[in-house]
Amino acid sequence: MIAGPTAPTDPLAAGGAARGPLGRRRVARIRVVSRPERLAIGTVAIVAMLVFWQFAADEHWINPLAASSPSAIWHAAGSLISTGVLGKAVAETAGLFGVGFGFSLLVGLGVGIVVGWNPRVDAAVDPFVSILYAAPRIALTPLITVWVGIGFTAQVVIVFLTAVFPIIINVAAGVRTLDRNCFNVARSFLGTNIDVLRTVALPGAVPSIISGVRQGLAQALIGVVVAEYFVGQNGVGGLIVASGFTLNTANAFVGVFVFAGASLVLTGILKAFAQRADRWRI
Amino acid sequence: MAEPAAREASAREPGIRAAGEDGAAPSLLRVEQLSKSFSRRSGRETRTVAVLEDVWLSLRPGELLTVIGPSGCGKSTLLGCVAGLLGYDSGTIVVNGRPVEGPGADRAVVFQHASLLPWRTVRRNVEYGLELERRIPRERRPALAAEAIALVGLGGSEDLYPHELSGGMQQRVNLARALATRPELLLMDEPFGALDALTREAMQDELCALTSRTGVATLFITHDIDEALLLGDRVAMMSARPGRIAGMIDVPFDRPRSRDVTEKQEFRELAQLLRHSLRPAATSPGEPPGAAGVTGVGLAGPGRDEDRR
């Protein structure tokens, strides 16, 4: 007879208690959670949170005036929509975001490509970009109002300044890191500088460009909020500020959730776009 | 160091001839007196390292010449100079009567690493050279690419991306990309060096068959002795630091060739001879290499064991 092992042979899967001279102990093992299970746990956590929030507000464990409650927020959202207040605010905010982020995208891609491709331009521009990227651009808000007043233009400038630098920096970094092997292939086939940019540098920079756009997107949303809080007080940001002043916390929460939702949707769109651009990857 | 003497000395030995003695056949590639050095800065001082010194080489139309040498002997640098990707200090490189001043459509390189564009399919990667050279009208490129893909046995894989290919298949694309441009001279830079042993043998066999079919003149860099003998019509041996052609072997096996030749006594003897010649001088100088039938050839290699920091 051949004595075969009766215990599970995969030590990673086995886990549990190891017996022997070392005594009983729980040996570490890899923990995985399936996708549906993740989704279920997440949903349960959210629902539990909402139920607890509502219950705590109803029982006055927390001050409903300060903390609001899910049902109050729901009702506030309903009346804000039916009166058209929310629609107008969202339209204003979307316009600001669209114009500000649109400019950042155009300028960020253009400047980023030139900076990443031309070492001399890079040397000249890099100090400015580094300083402005390191500085909290929101600190410039008072100066911007001095320069261009407190209208839509000022708001666009704020959004632009918050969003453009991460895009420039990431795009430039992506274009700069040229694959040397592919560069030599292009050279061996008599490729010109423009050929290399077109066929090697830019396609290779796509992951960096996408991560720059993702960061720019997040920054642009912050810029929108700041612009609407401090310059003009309109749009969803203005709604939140006004609601806060009048202690209408439910309305303020509606505004916050609108921003959260918009951020999720925009990131989702970008993700789908990135997957399309990345279909050649594993 | 009696350098010229060394070259002449090995010329008189049987089996290995001196470089530069290729008879009167019209040569497709002529490399004469090629020298190249790199300057390397270490701290405050700049040191100049001679990589190639007085390299002579010639290649006849349709010939496959393998260049073998220890790692770091400058064989890839030599190929880079012929490809026009690297500059050189002095000497001449002439391809089909035209001096090499940069990359040219008459030459195509099969790189050591496949260096495929990962965002392009096999088909689009093979078309890449045609696309950049712009000699062939756009509408004729797919046909040429398809021909090259078929030649390397990749038919059916045209729409795959590089990450979906094995290392061997990636090198086939690398080869097809070069062949698609119909070069007069194919430059292969250790293309099978990074492959596993079985794939490497399969690729060698295919290249053997392929060269017989296309008849394109090829300069093939390798550090594998069997590979050099199996593939080459002639084998050029390079010595290291500074790199120079230390000798030339005419491979006596007919084409089309198959792997069977590696079993022959003559093949083993040549391999043995090469092995002894290329090995850093560990054996005593007077001792003849063990290969029976071939007289000892001491590659009086200047700079072979010194200069090693």
DSSP states of B41-106:
EETTEEEEEEEEEEEEEEE-TT-EEEEE--TTSSHHHHHHHHHTSS--SEEEEEETTEEP-S--TT
In percent, how much of chain B has pLDDT > 70?
A: 82
Residue carrying the six token digits 């590089």: B162
Alpha helices in A59-179 (DSSP H): 64-67, 70-82, 85-117, 119-134, 141-148, 152-176
Residue A20 pLDDT greater than 70, yes or no = no
- CA dist B12 and A246 (Å) reads 104
Residue B296 pLDDT greater than 70, yes or no = no
Residue carrying the six token digits 């109050």: A72
Q: What is the third-level CATH fold of A68-280?
A: MetI-like fold (1.10.3720)
Mean per-residue pLDDT over chain B, rounded: 80
Please list, in sequence order, all residues whose beta carbon lies within 8 angstroms of the beta carbon of residue A127, skipping any fewer than 6 positions away. none
- CA dist A164 and A167 (Å) reads 5
Of B119, B120, B128, Cβ closest to residue A189: B128
The C-alpha of B241 sits at a distance from chain A's nearest C-alpha, in angstroms, of 25
In percent, how much of chain B has pLDDT > 90?
A: 21
B118 part of contact set with chain A, CB < 8 Å: yes
- CA dist B103 and A186 (Å) reads 10
> Nearest-CA residue of chain A relative to B107?
A188
Interface A-B, measured as beta-carbon pairs within 8 A, has a size of: 58
Residue B3 pLDDT greater than 50, yes or no = no
Helices (H) and strands (E) in chain B, counts: 9, 11
Nearest to B185 by CA among B56, B85, B64: B64
Q: How many C-beta neighbours within 10 Å does residue B155 have?
A: 10
B161 part of contact set with chain A, CB < 8 Å: yes
Nearest to A131 by CA among A80, A169, A103, A82: A169
Q: What mean pLDDT comes out for the span A190-209?
A: 92
Q: What mean pLDDT comes out for the span B98-119?
A: 90
Please indicate whether, in this complex, the C-beta atoms of A186 and B132 are within 8 angstroms of each other: yes
Q: What is the pLDDT of residue A163?
A: 93
Question: Which of B86, B100, B119 to mutate to test binding with chain A, by most A CBs within 10 Å of its CB?
Answer: B119
B60 part of contact set with chain A, CB < 8 Å: no
Residue A234 pLDDT greater than 50, yes or no = yes
Instruction: Return the minimum-mean-pLDDT range out of A8-12, A93-97, B262-266.
Output: A8-12
Q: What mean pLDDT comes out for the span A36-40?
A: 94
- CA dist B185 and B106 (Å) reads 6
- CA dist B255 and B210 (Å) reads 11
Q: In chain B, what residues touch A208 (CB-CB under 8 Å)? A: none
Q: What is the pLDDT of residue B19?
A: 47
> Nearest-CA residue of chain B relative to A193?
B132
pLDDT digits (tens, 9 = 90+) for B51-60: 888 889 999 8
Q: What is the pLDDT of residue A196?
A: 94
B83 part of contact set with chain A, CB < 8 Å: yes
Q: What mean pLDDT comes out for the span A129-158?
A: 88
State the pLDDT confidence band at B110, using cuts at 50, 70 and 90: very high
Beta strands across the sheet bearing B29-42: B45-59, B29-42, B90-95, B98-99
Joined together, the tokens standing for residue B198 give 């079985």
The C-alpha of A199 sits at a distance from chain B's nearest C-alpha, in angstroms, of 8
The C-alpha of B256 sits at a distance from chain A's nearest C-alpha, in angstroms, of 30
State the pLDDT confidence band at B309, using cuts at 50, 70 and 90: very low
Question: Could you tell me the CA-to-CA distances from B66 to B53, B77, B170, B240, B252 in Å, in that order?
Answer: 19, 14, 22, 16, 14
Q: In chain A, what residues touch B104 (CB-CB under 8 Å)? A: 190
A159, with CB counted inside 10 A (0-12, 13-18, 19+), is buried
Tell me the CB-side half-sphere exposure of residue A102, using CA atoms within 13 A: 7
B11 part of contact set with chain A, CB < 8 Å: no
Cut 0.90: pTM above it: no
CB B295 within 8 A of CB B14: yes
Q: In chain B, what residues touch A187 (CB-CB under 8 Å)? A: 85, 103
The C-alpha of B104 sits at a distance from chain A's nearest C-alpha, in angstroms, of 7
pLDDT digits (tens, 9 = 90+) for B64-104: 999 998 887 888 899 999 999 998 888 889 888 888 888 98
> Nearest-CA residue of chain B relative to A280?
B119
Please indicate whether, in this complex, the C-beta atoms of B133 and A190 are within 8 angstroms of each other: yes
Domain ranges (residues) in chain A: 34-65, 68-280
φ, ψ for residue A152, nearest 5 deg: -60, -40
Q: In chain A, what residues touch B128 (CB-CB under 8 Å)? A: 185, 189, 199
State the pLDDT confidence band at B40, using cuts at 50, 70 and 90: confident
> Nearest-CA residue of chain B relative to A179?
B115
> Nearest-CA residue of chain A relative to B121?
A280
DSSP 8-state class, residue B243: B
B175 part of contact set with chain A, CB < 8 Å: no
Residue B13 pLDDT greater than 50, yes or no = no
Mean per-residue pLDDT over chain A, rounded: 88
Q: What is the pLDDT of residue B46?
A: 81
Tell me what ipTM this predicted complex has.
Answer: 0.79
Q: What mean pLDDT comes out for the span A66-87?
A: 91
Helix (H, G, I), strand (E, B) or coil at B165: coil
CB B40 within 8 A of CB B47: yes
Please indicate whether, in this complex, the C-beta atoms of B109 and A179 are within 8 angstroms of each other: no
CB A32 within 8 A of CB A22: no
More confident residue, B280 or A188: A188
- CA dist B160 and A18 (Å) reads 47
